[in-house]
Amino acid sequence: MVVGLAVVLLCQLVGEIFAYTTHLPVPAPVVGLVLLFGFFLVRDRWEWLPFSLRSEEIDKTCETLVQQMALLFVPAGVGIVQRLGILEANVVGVLVIVLVTTAFSIVVTAYTFRLVSRWFPAPTESEE
Amino acid sequence: MSASEGLWAHLTGGALFWLTLTLVVYSIIDRLSLLARRNPLANPVLHSVWVIGTILVVSGTPYETYFDGAYFIHFLLGPATVALALPLYENRRVVLRSLVPIVAALAVGSAASIGSVIVCAAIFNLPAMITISSLPKSATSGVAMGISESVGGDASLTAIIVVATGIAGAVMATPLLNVLRITDRRARGFAVGLAAHGVGTARAFQVHPLTGTFAGVGMSLNGLLTAVLVPLAASLIGG
């Protein structure tokens, strides 16, 4: 758990340094994701890495974080109690934005994905 | 002040109580959601938010006091995004094979998300602060709050709209995509991750690992593209 968390946080920290120093509009956690992905690629090829970096620990930490991701949104969501006034005053518009534009994005994205994957079918097996 | 009132004040003023409450409420609701066979309407985030919110309002607790405790959970949003590298790595071959549809759906979906917010905000004549704060609504919380601040939005308001978007997307995605007869797990996952970030991705992992992985890809890539597009869109409507 400790090694896993350390590796994940280290990736995010390097992401933070990257975003800060380059002034690029890239979110630090996304840079961290790319770095950790690179780490996994390297790990499965280089056998000389210390054992703790090759152990399943990092995978387990990642698994737990991904599995429990929904929980992590609760504190920010509860923040609604702070902004009840402005939301209540614009309740219809806000509801439309939250419901309609989200549905619209899902539909447009899924249709685009399907359309383009028919033009460019995957080289081998395709899903159901 | 009686002894029990003193104890209550002592506990609710500290971080331990609110952190514990968040975990306990979420655990119970998550179990109920499991009993409801993961019905989309039994979304654990949705029900945890209103239950805890009600407790705060009824007990007259300021959000800041609550957040001091809940921050330990909130902080893990960043590491959880980093951790999406694992499912991505495990499914890298199928993701790589789908690169063309991924890039196309990302560009169209991200622009559609931001564009539709601008159109709806204009139709309903929303205050500029709400519009600006809603632009990054499909990006994941930590990312969206940073973007919102950089374009003069209200980061707290953004966080609320982002979580509401995630819940809405997670609840509606399964029935919506079923009605549209989109069966490709890659398309379903990517769409819900792009539009409903981590809450949608968590839902997608409940359905199928492949759906979840593509949701994670959609969420990460849209976090990147939203960070580029929102400042452009903000200068366009603010200009």
pLDDT tens per residue across span B34-45: 999 999 999 999
- Confidence category of residue A127, pLDDT binned at 50, 70, 90: very low
**Is residue A126 predicted with pLDDT exceeding 60?**
no
Residues B132 and B88 occupy one common structural domain: yes
Average pLDDT rounded to a whole number, residues B221-231: 91
Question: Distance between CA atoms of A35 and A12, rounded to whole angstroms?
Answer: 8
Cβ-contact A30, B41 below 8 angstroms? no
CB-based contact (8 Å) between A93 and chain B? yes
Are residues B201 and B182 part of one domain? yes
User: Closest approach of chain B CAs to the CA of A7, in angstroms?
Assistant: 10
Tens-place pLDDT, residues B172-196? 999 999 999 999 999 999 999 999 9
Distance CA A91, CA B98 (A): 39
- Band of residue A123 on the pLDDT scale cut at 50, 70, 90: low
Same domain, B103 and B121: yes
Last-in-domain residue among B75, B91, B117:
B75
Q: Which residues of chain B neighbour A35 with C-beta distances below 8 Å?
A: 82, 85
Note whether B174 and B117 are within 8 A (CB).
no
Q: Residues of A numbered 6-25 whose beta carbons fall under 8 angstroms of chain B's beta carbons: which are they?
A: 8-9, 11-12, 15, 25
Which residues does chain A have within 8 Å of residue B196's beta carbon, measured at their own beta carbons? 102, 106
Contact across the interface for A90 and B124, Cβ inside 8 Å: yes
Contact B95, A113 (CB under 8 A): no
Q: Does A78 touch chain B (CB under 8 A)?
A: yes
| Total-model pTM | 0.89
User: Does the pLDDT value for residue B130 go beyond 70?
Assistant: yes
Where does a domain end: B34, B57, B75? B75
B167 shares its domain with B214: yes
Stretch A53-62: mean pLDDT: 86
CA–CA dist B219, B102 (Å, integer): 12
The predicted complex's ipTM stands at 0.91
Instruction: Give chain B's domain count.
Output: 2
Tell me if A25 and B108 make a contact (CB, 8 A cut-off): no
Do B153 and B174 reside in the same domain of the chain? yes
Percent of chain B with pLDDT over 90: 79
Residue with tokens 């704060």: B133
C-alpha to C-alpha distance for A67 and B206, rounded to whole angstroms: 9
Are B52 and B106 in the same domain?
Answer: no
Q: Is B100 exposed, middle or buried (0-12, 13-18, 19+ CB in 10 A)?
A: middle
Higher model confidence: residue A64 or residue B14? A64
- What pLDDT score was predicted for residue A52? 66
CB B161, CB A91: distance < 8 Å: no
Same domain, B43 and B91: no
- Please indicate, yes or no, whether residues B118 and B206 belong to a single structural domain of this protein: yes
B172 with A102: Cβ contact below 8 A: yes
How many CA atoms are closer than 13 Å to the CA of A36, on its beta-carbon side?
A: 34
In this predicted structure, the answer to whether residue B210 has a pLDDT above a threshold of 70 is yes
Same domain, B112 and B223: yes
Say whether A36 and B86 touch across the interface (CB within 8 A).
Answer: yes
Q: Which of B121, B143, B176 sits opposite A97 (nearest CB)?
A: B121
Report whether pLDDT(A51) > 80: no
Contacts of B8-16 spanning 24+ positions with Cβ under 8 A? B12/B59, B12/B61, B12/B65, B13/B65, B14/B68, B14/B69, B15/B68, B15/B69, B15/B71, B15/B72, B16/B69
Which residue from B52, B83, B134 is facing A97, i.e. has the nearest CB?
Answer: B134
Q: Mean pLDDT of all residues in chain B?
A: 93
Which among B173, A81, B150 is positioned nearest to B135, based on CA atoms?
Answer: B150
Given B19, B50, B75, the domain boundary residue is: B75
pLDDT band per the 50, 70, 90 thresholds, residue A128: very low
Q: Which two tokens stand for residue B172?
A: 């509606």
Domain housing B55: 1-75
Q: Name the residue with higher pLDDT: B58 or B9.
A: B58
Look at residue B131 and tell me whether its pLDDT is greater than 60.
yes
Residue B218 has pLDDT above 50, yes or no: yes
Looking at chain B, which runs of residues are DSSP E strands? none
CB-CB under 8 Å, B26 with A33 = no
Asked whether residue B24 falls in the same domain as residue B134, the answer is no
Average pLDDT for residues A93-105, to the nearest whole number?
95
Cα–Cα nearest to A76, from B31, B135, B187, B146: B146
Angstrom distance (rounded) from CA A93 to CA B118: 11
Residues B47 and B126 in one domain: no
Q: Give the model's confidence band at A25: pLDDT under 50 very low, under 70 low, under 90 confident, else very high.
A: confident
Report pLDDT for A124.
55
Interface with A, mutate which of B81, B130, B133 (most A CBs under 10 A): B81
